[in-house]
Amino acid sequence: MSLQAPARKAEAGRPAGSGPVSRHAHQGLALLLILAASFMVVLDFSIVNVALPDIEREFGFTASSVQWVVTAYAITFGGFLILGGRAADLFGRRRIFTIGLVLFALASLAGGLAGDPLLLIVSRFAQGIGAAMVAPASLSLITTSFDEGPERTRALGLYGATASVGFVAGQVLGGVLVQYTSWRSVFLVNVPIGLLAAGLAPVLLPAAGRLVGLGRRLDLWGAVSITASVAAVVYAVSQSAAHGWTSPVVLAALALAVAAGVAFILVERRHPDPLVRLSLLRLPSLRSANTMSLLLGAWSAGEMLVLSLYYQQVLGASPMMTGLAIAPQGIVGFLAGAYGARMTRRIGVKGVLMLTSAAGVIGFTILTQLPATGYSPLLLAVTLVGFGTAGIAFGTVVQASSGIADADQGVVGGLVNTTRQVGAALGAALMPAIVETVSAGSGSVVGGDRAAMLAGAIATGLALVVAARSRGTGGKQQLTAPVVVD
């Protein structure tokens, strides 16, 4: 049975208003809250990067050990996303969303007040877990609150736009905060936002969405195995630049990832209430969306990191000027997401994915000619890349969630976010490695940067191929006899 009818009955019984105007106003406020929380989580990806040199100096980190401030967050965020998504499906999306926000805010407070490096890194682990609860719950709150079609597409467009501008805003805001206050402010800024959002969640977000027909049993061993597998992949990739792909620590992590992945598949085949039903993974629309999400994570994280270093090391820009130079990418990305629904009505989701990935290919192709001085071709290039990145982010979420029953929206959100996070870890490791390798061979840092941008062009080109070959959704995929209660 569909979850939409019970959810709407619960919605109609709320005192938020009985007419369509008040209902839409309430939905608008709820969406605004979800977008604010999502913005905060995405912002944290890039805002901390700007503060790393100051953190390194204050705590006496080495250049390699300071990366644990980033790696700790990446491991738990990527590793717990699928678990967070399924927990939202089983125990209530609003509940998991709120708990995640509180955990994220408190961990941010601990990080901002940390007096030693161990507490800082532990707080980053906790931040990642909180973010892994908020991200899939946010996405599933949108996909279950808005009807599939123009309403949902418009909401997902704003969600994608927020993610695009949030990542770039982190560069700008981080530069300002670090330059004029302290590195601690990049953590403390999350505290009031997170706690305020958590306080408003019970007022603005619907309580419906807790599934009791499945016995509300969490697939513990499935959760442990997939979390271990994804976390091991992220760890291996993050350590590859420092230790090399053939080092014992990286090979051991990859072996753990494979073993845990095999264990996950075996557990899911036998468990009566699996964490991820394997039939979902066979849906062509979800497969193509996850593939494009993986590629998107790789080029967006790698490009942002390489360009940030290029502006500062080659062009001599300050951290704040670097953020402002990259800002047009976020602005165009926001506009692409905000108007994504209109594009979808005209050319369809597949058309949006093909158009925006083609724009990304052109943008990265221009970036393969990075100048040694001056900014002349960069504005057009980052604008095209921003348009492509936001369009793919928006289109993959629409494609992944279409035709999926409400009972699986949380775990689907977790899957899409997980592939993007794994891709981001790959891009952040591989593209700087390309810069280092080519620069060492040619004696030119700009040559290495250009080679990394070529890798970005290849990734966006592959996304274009996947988009062109993608098919429609596989229809509703419903779990057995779920019941929605408040």
The reported pLDDT for the residue numbered 208 is 54
Q: How many CB atoms lie within 10 A of CB 128?
A: 28
CA 206 vs CA 8, 18, 39, 181: distances in Å: 10, 15, 20, 39
**Under 8 Å between Cβ of 311 and 303:** no
289 and 305 part of one domain:
yes
104 and 125 part of one domain:
yes
Residue 268 lies in a domain: yes
Residue 210 lies in a domain: no
392 and 266 part of one domain:
no
The reported pLDDT for the residue numbered 353 is 94
d(CA 101, CA 282): 32
The reported pLDDT for the residue numbered 295 is 95
Number of Cα atoms under 13 Å in the Cβ half of residue 261: 11
- Domain limits for position 262: 219-274
Residue 280 lies in a domain: yes
Residue 200 lies in a domain: yes
Amino acid at 241: A
- Intervals of the chain under pLDDT 50: 1-18, 21, 209-215, 473-486
C-alpha closest to that of 288 among 172, 454, 106, 419: 419
The reported pLDDT for the residue numbered 355 is 95
179 and 309 part of one domain:
yes
d(CA 47, CA 174): 5
Residue 429 lies in a domain: yes
85 and 232 part of one domain:
no
191 and 226 part of one domain:
no
256 and 279 part of one domain:
no
Of 256, 274, 292, which one is at a domain's C-terminal end? Answer: 274
d(CA 275, CA 478): 14
CA 334 vs CA 44, 88, 159, 320, 430: distances in Å: 18, 27, 9, 20, 27
Q: CATH number of the domain at 332, please.
A: 1.20.1250.20
239 and 103 part of one domain:
no
Number of domains the chain contains? 2
Report the predicted TM-score, pTM, of the whole model to 2 decimal places.
Answer: 0.80
20-59 and 150-180 helices cross at what angle (nearest 10)? 30
3-state secondary structure string across 422-467: HHHHHHHHHHHHHHHHHHHHHCCHHHHHHHHHHHHHHHHHHHHHHH
69 and 158 part of one domain:
yes
229 and 377 part of one domain:
no
d(CA 352, CA 392): 8
306 and 350 part of one domain:
yes
Which residue in this structure is represented by tokens 């369809």? Answer: 348
330 and 261 part of one domain:
no
Amino acid at 359: A
Residue 486 lies in a domain: no
Residue 10 lies in a domain: no
The reported pLDDT for the residue numbered 290 is 92
The reported pLDDT for the residue numbered 479 is 38
